[in-house]
Structure 1
Amino acid sequence: MGDIPEFKRGQIVGARLAGASVTKTAMIVPVYNGSDWLDQCLQAVVDQDYQGSMELSVYDDSSTDNSRAIVEGWRDKLEERGISLVISGHKSEKPKGVGFAKNQAVSQSCGQYLCFQDAIVGCQVRRNPEGSTERYTRWINSLSPEQLYTQVFTSHGPTVVMPTWFCSRDWFLKVGPFDEGGKGVPEDLLWFYRSLRLGGSVLRLDECLLIYRYHQHAATHSVLEETIWTLRVNFLQERVLDQWDSFTVWNAGKQGRKLYRSLSLTNQKKVKAFCDVDEKKIKKGFYTYEDSKERPKPKIPVLRVKDASPPFIVCVKLDMTAGVLEESLASLKLKEGEDFYHFN
């Protein structure tokens, strides 16, 4: 594990145990029925080559398996490695959720810096099994420093994946605790957006330091697509569209039309056109918002890409057009973050 430059207050660093050479770093591990993966997770903790003072803070959210016993069984190995272990939890018929467990693990820890790690994760960003979520893994590993900010509206979620987050306790306390709504709540995305609203910055260390396990029982699968969609639309409006006078939606198909319908009335009125490469959509000439309560119903022109003008909200999936989308954007000499933002 390599060093990273000294980071400033408010930065979320996509890295595993970076900085904090003197003050204790607390690794935050929320656990719910993680027995299948805990041994690998804890072995990765022991194998860290970081030599600073470390603390492992585990909170068991009503596991019905032997997760807590497994963690306790690692206490001697952890202490031999110089890592103190703090573990607690609660027992009830229903777990209180990832956000609650993370908050409890933070509260019981004492490190000045916080490193978040989930019980279902080993350690960065290579997927296990290999090849799972291939497009997502390629995306999370290839974002430029600028795109860590400009692509926060896409469906992929935070631009540094949650198990790699590292930040100061002071910043965590400023942003506030994770949402404790329980199952179905994207607590990481909500916290990430709050951090950005407060001026927090985002860094990524360009080394593969985490094996990111993918399986069907992960908590992320409980979050509905519509929940994420609504959060993304609202954040896009708040951070971008509310400041623009007008814009073009790049995609006259299903996703572009859905975005238009999801906007506030004020921002709907700012949509000057849709643009597309599909001649059938272009030939039709207009998109009519049939469900609008306005009279006459809004009719938005559908143009060829070459005839449309920026700024654009691009509602075409990244890495799905064999480079056609990326080439089109490059040919128009558009700057991401000024002339366009990716939404899909």
Structure 2
Amino acid sequence: MSERRIDKQLEAAKSSSNALIGCKFHRVPEDSTIRFTKWANNLTPHQLYTQMYTSHGPTVVMPTWFCKRGVFDRVGGFDEGGKGVPEDLIFFYRHVEMGGEVYRVDDDLMLYRYHPDAATFSIKQETIWKIRIDFLEKQILSHWPEFTIWNAGKQGRRFFRSLTDINQKKVCAFCDVDEKKIKKAVYIYEYSKEKYKPRIPIIHYSQAKPPIVICIKLDLTSGVFEENLRSLNLEEGKDFIHFN
């Protein structure tokens, strides 16, 4: 870590007794996890909260964490379940659920080494998916009377199927840019136990009614998806939330 790290993060901690404080970082090798590094280092203070539901995990990465002892004790420490337990994600979500703040010092103060034997690769994606779904439902979907899912493809349908019955009933439509999916006009949830299977309309994204849960990965379409989203003039955190 940088010799300035303690001073910088300690100074930030003085202004809040309830914050989990991170910092910017660089990776070795330099070409590892490029999208993840770009995402984590460029989130706005607002996005530290609005993008905590994505598959990238905590919006301040665990190797950069700095906090007062009281923050750690209030959460109850890390889940010591061992290999396969995403202890950083569990701690981070508990911290937020208890009203904890999230802050990032905007200086590169940490070298975050990448290697293929890291413990993170022992965690099953299904485990992380369930934790993220549960957190999103408690923090966001429980407050929305209805919402749209952006992605009528595999990930959007998986997201829908993972929701509780209550939140499935809140889905008013899927939206997409793919004409083939839009021409289908409807998604029928065949696995439903209801006598009359739920039929969810599939519409063009420009017709989507907010709020929207976005199940599209960022920074993978040369800016096309991001431009489509900007064209709708929506407010992140209020009108839409990123999940993938």
TM-score, normalised via structure 1 length: 0.67
Contact 1:313/1:343 (<8 A) preserved: yes
Contact 2:20/2:71 (<8 A) preserved: no
In the aligned structure 1, how far is the partner of 2:184 from the partner of 2:229?
24
In the aligned structure 1, how far is the partner of 2:220 from the partner of 2:162?
24
Contact 1:288/1:299 (<8 A) preserved: yes
Offset of residue 223 of structure 1: 0.5
The letter of the residue matching 1:322 is S
Deviation per CA, 1:280-310: give whole Å up to 9, x if none: 0000111111111111111100000111211
Number of the residue aligned with 2:177: 277
In the aligned structure 2, how far is the partner of 1:307 from the partner of 1:193?
33
The letter of the residue matching 2:20 is I
In the aligned structure 2, how far is the partner of 1:152 from the partner of 1:228?
13
The letter of the residue matching 2:16 is K
Q: What are the equivalent positions in structure 2 for 1:131-280 lying under 5 Å apart?
A: 131-280=31-180
The letter of the residue matching 1:159 is T
In the aligned structure 2, how far is the partner of 1:139 from the partner of 1:275?
24
Number of the residue aligned with 1:21: none
Offset of residue 7 of structure 1: 2.9
Highest relative contact order (Cα 8 Å, sep 6+), 1 or 2? 2
Number of the residue aligned with 1:7: 15
Q: How many positions carry a matched residue from both structures?
A: 236
Contact 2:75/2:94 (<8 A) preserved: yes
Q: What are the equivalent positions in structure 2 for 1:305-324 lying under 5 Å apart?
A: 305-324=205-224
Offset of residue 192 of structure 1: 0.3
Deviation per CA, 1:22-57: give whole Å up to 9, x if none: xxxxxxxxxxxxxxxxxxxxxxxxxxxxxxxxxxxx
SS state of the match for residue 107, structure 2? coil
Number of the residue aligned with 1:302: 202
Q: What are the equivalent positions in structure 2 for 1:74-153 lying under 5 Å apart?
A: 125-153=25-53
Contact 1:248/1:312 (<8 A) preserved: yes
Contact 1:125/1:209 (<8 A) preserved: yes
In the aligned structure 2, how far is the partner of 1:156 from the partner of 1:262?
19
Give the unaligned 5+ runs of structure 2.
none
In the aligned structure 2, how far is the partner of 1:171 from the partner of 1:276?
41
In the aligned structure 2, how far is the partner of 1:308 from the partner of 1:237?
20
TM-score, normalised via structure 2 length: 0.95
More helix by share: 2
In the aligned structure 1, how far is the partner of 2:208 from the partner of 2:103?
34
Give the unaligned 5+ runs of structure 1.
16-123
SS state of the match for residue 234, structure 2? coil
Contact 1:10/1:195 (<8 A) preserved: no
Deviation per CA, 1:99-118: give whole Å up to 9, x if none: xxxxxxxxxxxxxxxxxxxx
In the aligned structure 1, how far is the partner of 2:71 from the partner of 2:62?
16
